[in-house]
Amino acid sequence: MSLKMPYIRILVVGALICLLPLVLDTFYMHIAVLVLIWAFLACAWNIIGGYAGQHSLGNGLYMGIGAYTVAYLVNRFALTPWVGLLVAIALSAAAAAFIGWIVFRYALKGAYFALVTIALTEAAVYVVSNIPALGGAGGMQMEYRGNSLAYMQFAGQSGYFYMGVLMVVFILLLTQWYKSKRFFYQLIAVRENEDAAEALGVDTVKAKIKANVMSGVLCAVGGVFYAQYFLYVGPRSVFGEVVSVQILIYAIVGGLGTTWGPVVGAVLLVPLSEIARGQLGNSLPGSQLLLSGVVMVLTMLFMPFGIIGAVARLRQRWQHRSATPLVDSQGGEAS
Amino acid sequence: MLEVRGLTRRFGGLVAVNDLSFEVNEGEMIGLIGPNGSGKTTTFSMLSGALRPSAGTIAFNGERIDGLKANKVCRKGLARTFQVVQPFPDITATENVMIGAFVNVGAGRQAEAKAREMLERVGLTPKADTLAKELTLLQLKRLEIAKALATEPKLLLLDEVAAGLTSTEVDVMLQLVRQLNTEGITCIIVEHVMRFVMNLSHRCIVIDFGSQIAEGTPEEILNNPAVHAAYLGEEASIA
């Protein structure tokens, strides 16, 4: 297989997805945009959680920083969201670097790392809820200023849809490109065996901080897009453990540490929970969360490496099976 | 090349390594032997930066390296293998070695070429694309060496690379390590397999309860009564 193949695959799938607005109605277009937002966020989480193996339960923090930064700057100073995006990137990078530096310097791992990240994103909910300038517990509504790329606002959903496709294609290409680079090998070494990684010259603390920054910045970008799509940010809708866990469920169900896993997870689960919300939202509120939980438990029980992992395994088994006759005849000769 | 002075490590009240001093010259093969729990691996951990010494100094090529983190020590040219093999289980043998190759090489393709060269050197080419978790113990021990070699060490610490291998496998490993030494890599060998260490070492250092009890050529060590009392026992021979 050519080295270019994975890139071509991403571009082809991206181009095909662009045809969807021709066939989807408003309700399904809304779901499609949500799929793209969550797929992007899950891909971003996958860098620290999947490749570096540090299971952050608090990436909502960075998504929230992105969403709130853009909402505040647009509302308060009437800036274009593109400036807000740059500020969001800078703020989230600083936050992720600082948190990463503290947490990894003191070698917090596994459950301890997860707990600190969840505590920080929860703390952010309460901090933001108590700052009147950020809208307090009610959050902030953003004004619709018209169908314009300069305002990152679109009249219909298709504008958001195409922007989402661009973002997801971008993050997939980025992941694929990074996969052959020293940095990703170092992250995988950290995930697989930290002592051995150190002994082979990998500065594990630095690698983890870099991964946290990359993941955090991309989550903030996802948060900016989220804010622009809903034109509303609330403490619980962008910060906190519910969104943080939602992000990682898609990556885990799809396949940790794989390029496509987070996308596959989001494509399957987001529509499921949205339809559940639509159908059962009144009679059984919260049922979509329950459903996501059940799918995740089933995945972990039956497909510990996610959907991508299960597919790879099936393919392997199929190849082995087609090779079986050879083994049999050799075995026959020996006996 | 390596100068260790007064190296000491305490774990609470236990003194694992006590005031150890020795030197290693370029091109030498040094055997570091002693009974279980005498502090050999602790010494290796301090030399490689995985463990901070409680006291003492380590100088490598005239430069103090005690207190440096393991990744820095490695990048200065001092690599180690682990007694309990430490592969990256879910990636292939080549990818395992690439992690070490990236110390000196930036591009992925170059690192891969270098990794394959190292696998060739330790005789693992047929397993280059096998996941590390599917390798046998002998293969994993070779992989440990290939990983360490990929970092281009000047001094290599080999921690029990022959332990747990069959007699034939020990011979293979022996040849491999001797080959590395002729290629100019200085080695310190921690080993219980006497045939292995006595055949390879130019000089042996014997420690017991963290302190050095003897130093000399393999012949001198084998005829040293103190070493017999502490470690080798009455029946020992080169075998």
pLDDT higher than 80, residue A323: no
Residue labelled with tokens 């972990």: A300
Here the tokens at position A118 are 């969840």
Mean pLDDT throughout A271-296? 82
Contacts of A201 in chain B (CB under 8 A): 71, 74-75, 100, 102-103, 151
Answer for the pair B46, B66: CB distance below 8 angstroms, yes or no.
yes
pLDDT higher than 60, residue B64: yes
pLDDT of A124-139, one tens digit each? 999 999 999 999 999 9
Using CA atoms in the order B139, B172, B102, A309, what is the torsion angle rounded to 10 degrees? -10
Which residues on chain A place their C-beta less than 8 Å from a C-beta of chain B?
180-182, 185-186, 188-189, 192-193, 195-204
**Continuous segment of H or E residues that includes residue A147:** none
pLDDT of A35-89, one tens digit each? 999 999 999 999 999 999 999 999 999 999 999 999 999 999 989 999 999 999 9
- The amino acid occupying position A126 is Y
Give the whole-number percent of chain A exceeding pLDDT 90: 71
Contacts of A196 in chain B (CB under 8 A): 82, 86-88, 147
Here the tokens at position A278 are 């639509």
* For B49, nearest residue in chain A (alpha carbons): A199
Would you say how long chain B is, in residues? Answer: 239
* For A179, nearest residue in chain B (alpha carbons): B108
* For A257, nearest residue in chain B (alpha carbons): B90
pLDDT computed for residue B234 by the predictor: 54
- The amino acid occupying position B119 is L
Q: Domain locations in chain B?
A: 2-232
**pLDDT confidence bin for B182, thresholds 50/70/90:** very high
The span from the first CA to the last CA of chain B, in angstroms, equals 32
Burial of A323 (C-beta count, 10 Å sphere; 0-12/13-18/19+): exposed
Distance CA A167, CA B194 (A): 61
pLDDT higher than 70, residue A2: no
Mean pLDDT throughout A135-156? 89
Give the whole-number percent of chain A exceeding pLDDT 70: 95
Question: What is the SS3 assignment for chain B?
Answer: CEEEEEEEEEECCEEEEEEEEEEECCCCEEEEECCCCCCHHHHHHHHHCCCCCCEEEEEECCEECCCCCHHHHHHCCEEECCCCCCCCCCCEHHHHHHHHHCCCCCCHHHHHHHHHHHHHHCCCHHHCCCEHHHCCHHHHHHHHHHHHHHCCCCEEEEECCCCCCCHHHHHHHHHHHHHHHHCCCEEEEECCCHHHHHHHCCEEEEEECCEEEEEECHHHHHCCHHHHHHHHCCCCCCC
Contacts of B106 in chain A (CB under 8 A): 182
CA distances from B124 to A185, B146, B223 (A): 20, 9, 38
Distance CA B136, CA B130 (A): 11
| CATH of the domain spanning B2-232 | 3.40.50.300
Q: Please judge whether A182 and B111 are an interchain contact, meaning their C-beta atoms are less than 8 angstroms apart.
A: yes
Q: Please judge whether A199 and B82 are an interchain contact, meaning their C-beta atoms are less than 8 angstroms apart.
A: yes
pLDDT of A306-321, one tens digit each? 999 899 888 888 887 6
- Taking the CA of residue B76 and the nearest CA in chain A, the distance in Å comes to 9
Q: Please judge whether A186 and B150 are an interchain contact, meaning their C-beta atoms are less than 8 angstroms apart.
A: no
Which residues on chain B place their C-beta less than 8 Å from a C-beta of chain A?
48-50, 69-72, 74-75, 79-80, 82, 86-91, 95, 98-100, 102-103, 106, 108-109, 111, 147-148, 150-151
What 3-state class would DSSP assign to A108? Answer: coil
Mean pLDDT throughout B37-41? 90
* For B77, nearest residue in chain A (alpha carbons): A201
**pLDDT confidence bin for A335, thresholds 50/70/90:** very low
For residue B2, what are the β-bridge partners? B24, B60
pLDDT computed for residue A318 by the predictor: 85
Q: Please judge whether A193 and B79 are an interchain contact, meaning their C-beta atoms are less than 8 angstroms apart.
A: no
pLDDT higher than 70, residue A329: no
- Taking the CA of residue A285 and the nearest CA in chain B, the distance in Å comes to 41
| Of residues A71, A60, A69, the one with CA closest to residue A89 | A69
pLDDT of A230-259, one tens digit each? 999 999 999 988 899 999 999 999 999 999
pLDDT higher than 60, residue B68: yes
Mean pLDDT throughout B110-122? 95
Mean pLDDT throughout A103-115? 90
- Taking the CA of residue A191 and the nearest CA in chain B, the distance in Å comes to 9
**pLDDT confidence bin for A109, thresholds 50/70/90:** confident
pLDDT of B151-164, one tens digit each? 999 999 999 999 88
pLDDT computed for residue A292 by the predictor: 82
pLDDT computed for residue A324 by the predictor: 46
Answer for the pair B49, B65: CB distance below 8 angstroms, yes or no.
yes
Q: Please judge whether B69 and A192 are an interchain contact, meaning their C-beta atoms are less than 8 angstroms apart.
A: no
Distance CA B155, CA B231 (A): 26
